[in-house]
């Protein structure tokens, strides 16, 4: 038995027709006859379990909401995004691209999850925070304010990234770590334990036995490295036609 149907109430969004849904039976906290949000097609919202789209929320393209997930208020789920488990997407939050939000994760306020990013476990993404690229945020991690997590970065444990902080590339922030202010954590940096990073740039985590060396690029710049192997600089001269003959 179907739990909802598409009604004749239609709105246009990016050239697509979205239909308000209406419950056909009681399920979860939804009562028979209750109107929900807008979807483009039945494939956007599972007919099983307690998944629901309510308020003025919109789900379209090939996006899918399943399990007991809830999308409500003015939230949007689009592209090939999946929202599943007990996840909540609310307020003006957007989940797009190939993003995945699952478990008990929540994305709310004006937060964005996009590209191939994954948010799972009990993670919260809020305020104007953005999680994108191939980033993962999971466990009990929090990303809030104007923070950005992108690239191949992971934030997990009970770590928090907030303020105007950025975590990117292959960086890892976990444990009880806090990254905030204008801090930038990138490259192969690992911030963990009880570290609190308020500002500065952190780009590499090394073994204590490794030694950082400096190579001068020119009068203004130098490169920091570990175990550098430098080749010999050879000048290659182009042969002229006279030399070839």
CATH number of the domain residue 132 falls in: 2.160.10
In a domain, 45, yes or no: no
Note the pLDDT tens digit of each residue in 21-66: 999 999 999 999 999 999 999 999 999 999 999 999 999 999 999 9
227, part of any domain: yes
pTM value surpassing 0.85: yes
| Closest C-alpha among 81, 108, 112, 80 to residue 94 | 112
Q: Flag whether pLDDT at 118 surpasses 50.
A: yes
CA distances from 36 to 42, 106, 140, 205 (A): 13, 20, 30, 49
The answer to whether residue 73 sits within a structural domain is: no
Give yes or no for a contact between 150 and 135, defined as CB atoms under 8 angstroms apart: yes
In-domain check, residue 233? yes
241 has a pLDDT exceeding 70: no
- Residue 232: inside a domain: yes
- For residue 136, being part of any structural domain is answered with yes
Q: Which of 130-139's residues contact partners 24+ apart within 8 Å by CB, and which partners?
A: 131/99, 132/97, 133/168, 135/167, 138/103, 138/105, 139/174
- Number of domains observed in the structure of the chain: 1
**Torsion sign over Cα 95, 98, 99, 101:** positive
User: What range defines the domain where residue 151 resides?
Assistant: 109-244
Say if 143 falls within a structural domain.
yes
Residue 9 lies in a domain: no
Residue 101 to residue 111: CA distance in whole angstroms: 13
pLDDT for 243 = 47
Tokens of 168: 């990117």
Report yes or no: 183 and 162 within 8 Å, Cβ to Cβ: no
* Mean pLDDT of all residues in 126-146: 98
């Amino acid at each position: 038995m179907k739990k909802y149907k598409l009604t004749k109430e239609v709105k246009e969004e990016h050239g697509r027709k979205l239909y308000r849904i209406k419950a056909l039976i009681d399920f979860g906290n939804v009562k028979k006859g209750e109107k929900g949000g807008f979807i483009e097609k039945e494939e956007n919202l599972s007919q099983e379990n307690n998944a629901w789209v309510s308020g003025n929320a919109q789900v379209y393209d090939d996006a899918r909401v399943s399990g007991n997930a809830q999308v409500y208020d003015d939230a949007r789920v689009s592209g090939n995004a999946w929202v599943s488990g007990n996840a909540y997407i609310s307020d003006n939050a957007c989940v797009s691209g190939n993003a995945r939000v699952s478990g008990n994760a929540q994305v709310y306020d004006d937060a964005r999850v996009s590209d191939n990013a994954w948010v799972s476990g009990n993670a919260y993404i809020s305020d104007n925070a953005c999680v994108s690229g191939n980033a993962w945020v999971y466990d009990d991690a929090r990303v809030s304010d104007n923070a950005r997590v992108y690239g191949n970065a992971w934030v997990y444990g009970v770590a928090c990234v907030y303020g105007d902080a950025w975590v990117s590339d292959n960086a890892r922030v976990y444990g009880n770590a806090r990254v905030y202010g204008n801090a930038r954590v990138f490259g192969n940096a690992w911030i963990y334990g009880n570290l609190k990073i308020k500002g500065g740039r952190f780009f590499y985590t090394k073994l204590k036995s490794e030694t950082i060396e400096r190579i001068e690029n020119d009068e203004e710049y130098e490169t920091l490295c570990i175990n550098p192997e430098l080749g010999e600089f050879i000048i290659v001269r182009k042969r002229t036609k006279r030399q070839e003959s």
